[in-house]
A and B are shown apart, each in its own frame.
Chain A
Amino acid sequence: MTEQVSIVTGASRGIGRSIALELGRDGNCVVVNYVGREEEARATARLIEEQGGRAIVEQGDVSLASDAERLVESALAAFGHLDVVVNNAGITRDTLVLRMKDEDWDAVMNTNLKGAFHLIRAAARPMMKQRSGRIINIASVVAIMGNAGQANYVSAKAGLIGLTKSVAREFASRNITVNAIAPGFIETDMTAGLNAEWTGKMVEQIPLGRPGSPEDVAHAVSFLASPKAAYITGQVLHIDGGMVM
């Protein structure tokens, strides 16, 4: 079996780093994408190499179509093919709608939703030619539940689920599966900044009684990228300790 080549956006830290490490096991290849944190992205790549995988580090802002295209070109140039795309890059600009500026809305939409569109469009051509591919979009449980103070983020994540299902239908005949993962409350830098009282209340609503780890999400991504998930497409898999059922 040839090695699997993956692009993971936003892989310098958090869930993205865990996904990159998981996909880079067993001699597999990963394009570690970052926007601003080069050192951390290089650390992710080093960790992949230490466990026997191959990695290249690529700066790129997927909200720009040209950067997304460059990521795909880099993957093909370095490794010869492209098997898995993980749209993980995401930002937050949390505030109540009444206080939300257009720039807050646009920035979150452009990175979290349009960025995924750009990378899917760029990756589709080589995947169609190969007659195989896996696209995995990292959404969120808030896309289903809604969340006060995150209208922009929630809208983008809900859009990502719609994008997932549409693209799954468009590319199914080319053996490209497209799925979304909806993480619940996961302990990362993104959630570490949240109000402690609020996070306490969140955890109370989780049937399994604890926050998730980035590895919990990465394991699900690794499954969806594996041959075992060949017959799964257009689905949203919740990794949330039962928070949303």
Chain B
Amino acid sequence: MSDTLSRVKSIIVDRLGVDEAKVVPTATFKDDLGADSLDVVELIMELEDEFDMEISDEDAERIKTVGDVVTYIDAHQ
């Protein structure tokens, strides 16, 4: 498992209170992990802090799955 994925995972588990086993790359935040729109915004802000980067609203809207986050972070680090 990539370092990015494990860091992202632990943030998601902490923030959404979901079982770690459910946080797989194909899992969608809204349908699979039960996040509402505020959860997603909070998650994005926390990821910005954790990875010291800015994720624009436009880019954030395209992020639907755990894998999307990891790909985005790896591409923009």
Contacts and interface: CB of A to CB of B under 8 A. Distances in A.
Interface of A: 125, 128, 170-171, 173-174
Nearest 4 CB-CB pairings of A with B: A173-B36, A173-B38, A174-B38, A128-B42
Contacts of B36: 173
Interface size class of B (residues with CB under 8 A): under 10
Contacts of B38: 128, 170-171, 173-174
Chain A at the B interface: SS class: helix
Contact residues of B: prevailing secondary structure: helix
Nearest to B15: A129
Contacts of B45: 125
Interface in B30-77: 36, 38, 42, 45
A174 B39 CA distance: 10
Contacts of A173: 36, 38
B74 to A, nearest CB: 27
A125 B46 CA distance: 11
A170 B36 CA distance: 11
A174 B42 CA distance: 12
Contacts of A171: 38
Nearest to A174: B38
Contacts of A128: 38, 42
A81 B59 CA distance: 32
Of B36, B38, B45, the most chain A CB neighbours within 10 A belong to B38
